[in-house]
Structure 1
């Protein structure tokens, strides 16, 4: 191998250059820096080999689990899972820590805002420049009319909107975060109640004239309502930290040539 891609061994066990090259396909790297993907791949395979060696030392047996109907773990995957179950022991999450996490920033556990929005849609496909221009002109004309007659919104929606909400005078009902396309939500999220957006909103569906009918700010959820959520998040973090410590300890005790798996990969 070249100096850039040296041979790698793990406690005397060689890792083939072909295996590292294949693994490198799973690791992104900037253009012109193939060595970065190679080092990431080599480190991943070093850790994999250390896990398999640990399984052998512990005398663990591979018992593949079914991951999906008809798809099972490989024996190596089953052994690595067995090692993690045997050796990675996270610190327990205490009730005091759960409560302290909530008390430190209750705002993080606020329920999502809810909005009631009305719109008038002038439909146009994204790749139809002529239709988009016509829709933009229609929306602009409607905004000029609404500046003079804001109460005409519902009537215009019923007569001109290409959305089924025209049957409800443009009203979309209650909307929460993620219920609509991002560009639509970003446009109405900052409107005050009763405000008609001064500019039409362009989405993949066409041009929209928007009105904010009502907005309900999400309340901070009580501790008991989010206790399980906090516990799960802290447990995942504790497991991740324990896994990092376990891997770092394996690497520190191992004899690895060709790469320093403990060094930052940048």
Structure 2
């Protein structure tokens, strides 16, 4: 007769006696990509924690006899019953944020130059394409970019010819010219490089982006004008409201978790970079 040793069997994950199925945790783990350097089991713990908090919120909503009233998030896409219950629970529990316009005015006055309209750029680039996940391709692209940059340092006038010869971007047919660019037209890392370059300058080192490596030439720039406080106030209000809502929702969920009986996972042991993914604020 074979006797199974169950002393080391995993403790099931439960929330006030309700079991979270292992299959549900495994499926949820797909939504929690493991950061580099994380310990084994990170995604499982993050998924289990998210589902435990979600179940605790749903139980609390049912305790309060909330009836789900799903709303349309976008054309043709509606909340699920569970999403509606959680949203309605938080709407009841979390008071509307108080907007402190005096504090927003002080924030603006402290550094108004941060609040500018879109800048305009005229630029050209040479792209050496590489998938960031492919170490070999990334190394090769960097080496090629550095070799071409050395050529440009010897003769900047060859930019267009080198762009046509080496660039992986369709702009190579126009000497690498990208035309007029406004803030937001390019990936953030590219725009950040343009913002600190001098007109007529070629980037001193290859710029790495999600597409590979770029050699950039900034031909012209027109900085956006500082926007008046009245123009940026709606955005500042929205940012303050969202910050207040996130802070209040975290406090509420933490308080709810503290009075919830949970087995199989320690909610006090929070995986790094895990937020309260059990809920998203509508809108």
TM-score (norm 2): 0.65
Matched residue, 2:23: 18
1:187 to partner: Cα distance = 6.8
**Distance across 2 between alignment mates of 1:10 and 1:193:** 61
**1:239 to 1:196, Cα distance in 2 relative to 1, 3 A:** closer
**Distance across 1 between alignment mates of 2:38 and 2:128:** 42
2:267 maps to 1:255 = no
Write the deviation string for residues 75-105 of structure 1: whole angstroms up to 9, x where unpaired: 2222112112211224311222221222333
**Distance across 1 between alignment mates of 2:73 and 2:185:** 31
Write the deviation string for residues 158-210 of structure 1: whole angstroms up to 9, x where unpaired: xxxx76868xxx98654323435778767765553455779999998xx9894
- Of 200, 215, 218, the residue aligned with 2:221 is 215
1:53 to partner: Cα distance = 1.2
Alpha-carbon contact 1:88-1:242 (below 8 Å) kept: yes
**Distance across 2 between alignment mates of 1:202 and 1:13:** 48
1:73 to partner: Cα distance = 2.5
Write the deviation string for residues 28-48 of structure 1: whole angstroms up to 9, x where unpaired: 236884422222112111111
Matched residue, 2:51: 45
TM-score (norm 1): 0.68
**1:95 to 1:2, Cα distance in 2 relative to 1, 3 A:** farther
3-state SS in 1 of match to 2:41: helix
Alpha-carbon contact 1:248-1:262 (below 8 Å) kept: no
- Of 92, 99, 103, the residue aligned with 2:105 is 99
**Distance across 1 between alignment mates of 2:22 and 2:50:** 13
Quick check: 96-105 or 76-85, which moved more?
A: 96-105
1:240 to partner: Cα distance = 0.3
**Distance across 1 between alignment mates of 2:43 and 2:173:** 50
**Distance across 1 between alignment mates of 2:204 and 2:86:** 58
Structure 1 unpaired stretches of 5+: 148-152, 157-161
Q: How many residues align?
A: 246
Matched residue, 1:228: 234
Structure 2 unpaired stretches of 5+: 1-5, 131-136, 162-170, 273-283
- Of 83, 89, 93, the residue aligned with 1:83 is 89
2:9 maps to 1:7 = no
Matched residue, 1:66: 72
RMSD across aligned positions (CA): 4.5
Alpha-carbon contact 2:125-2:177 (below 8 Å) kept: no
